[in-house]
Amino acid sequence: MMERARAAGVERFYLPAIDSSILQAMLQMETDYPGRCFAMMGLHPCSVKENYEDELQIAGNWLAKRKFAAIGETGLDFYWDKTFVPQQYDAFKRQVQWAKQYRIPVVIHSRQSTQECIDVIKELHSPDLTGIFHCFGGSLAEAEQITAMGFHLGIGGVITYKNSGLGAVIEKLPLHHIVLETDAPYLTPAPFRGKRNESAYLQYIAQKIADVKNMRIEDVQEVTTANALKLFGSHTKLM
Ligand SMILES: [Zn+2]
């Protein structure tokens, strides 16, 4: 998979943390692919359960110990389970504070909660707080609120789906607010929808953005790569 990605021009991988159960595998990827894989640190909203204080403690200890590319994934998920909504808010807000404290971006998961996540960022916003609303699938009004705060939109396979409506939103937004992502193994772009997603398929998302914005794919690749490098910082540049 890594070789197919490299052949498709994908040079850097930003790996979102989920919870303590995946940390060892994620950090091993970083060790195995130095200068290509970069770990984030955080607690995913779907992993916010009774023990979320313990999970935050583990993530917090890691952040105190070494540099990470970003805080994430964090955010709110009202799609799968609403049992722990107050705890999701608490975990999200504390992680946004970490992003400010460590001066790194925050990568936000906002499933059926885009406006609620925007409201949290508005409440906690400061000039140096940046980040990504990952797998953005919201409206133009939501996109405009996000970019007005200096945040980026993570665009993945959904833009290639018929009737998603995302192409019409992206058509109206400047490319310098957009970064590309896979959400692999989920949200596989057309023409591979339904199969396991992987990073080599990023080219189909870039091509779709080029089509809706009537641009060359090379320009989409160049600008979104520059956006990601600027956002994640010089320490994640190729060695
Ligand atoms: Zn997510």
pLDDT per residue of the chain (239 residues) written in tens, 0 to 9 = 999 999 999 999 999 999 999 999 999 999 999 999 999 999 999 999 999 999 999 999 999 999 999 999 999 999 988 999 999 999 999 999 999 999 999 999 999 999 999 999 999 999 999 999 999 999 999 999 999 999 999 999 999 999 899 999 999 999 999 999 999 999 999 999 999 999 999 999 999 999 999 999 999 999 999 999 999 986 665 44
Distance from Cα 102 to the centre of ligand 1, integer Å: 22
Q: Which residues contact 38 (CB under 8 A, 6 or more apart)?
A: 12, 13, 14, 15, 30, 68, 69, 232, 236
Distance from Cα 91 to the centre of ligand 1, integer Å: 15
Residue type, 10: V
Distance from Cα 223 to the centre of ligand 1, integer Å: 23
Rounded Cα–Cα distance for residues 106 and 118 (Å):
12
Classify residue 64 as exposed, middle or buried by CB count within 10 Å of its CB (0-12, 13-18, 19+).
exposed
Distance from Cα 18 to the centre of ligand 1, integer Å: 9
Distance from Cα 43 to the centre of ligand 1, integer Å: 11
Q: Give the pair of three-digit tokens for residue 205.
A: 């998302």
Distance from Cα 214 to the centre of ligand 1, integer Å: 28
- In the chain, alpha helices (H): 2-7, 23-32, 52-65, 85-102, 114-124, 140-148, 166-171, 202-213, 217-232
Distance from Cα 134 to the centre of ligand 1, integer Å: 6
Residue 159, number of CB atoms within 10 A of its CB: 25
pLDDT at 78: 96
Q: In the beta sheet, which residues pair with residue 13?
A: 37
Distance from Cα 135 to the centre of ligand 1, integer Å: 7
Quote the pTM value.
Answer: 0.96
Distance from Cα 136 to the centre of ligand 1, integer Å: 9
Distance from Cα 71 to the centre of ligand 1, integer Å: 13
Distance from Cα 56 to the centre of ligand 1, integer Å: 18
Distance from Cα 7 to the centre of ligand 1, integer Å: 26
Contact 192, 230 (CB under 8 A): no
pLDDT at 239: 41
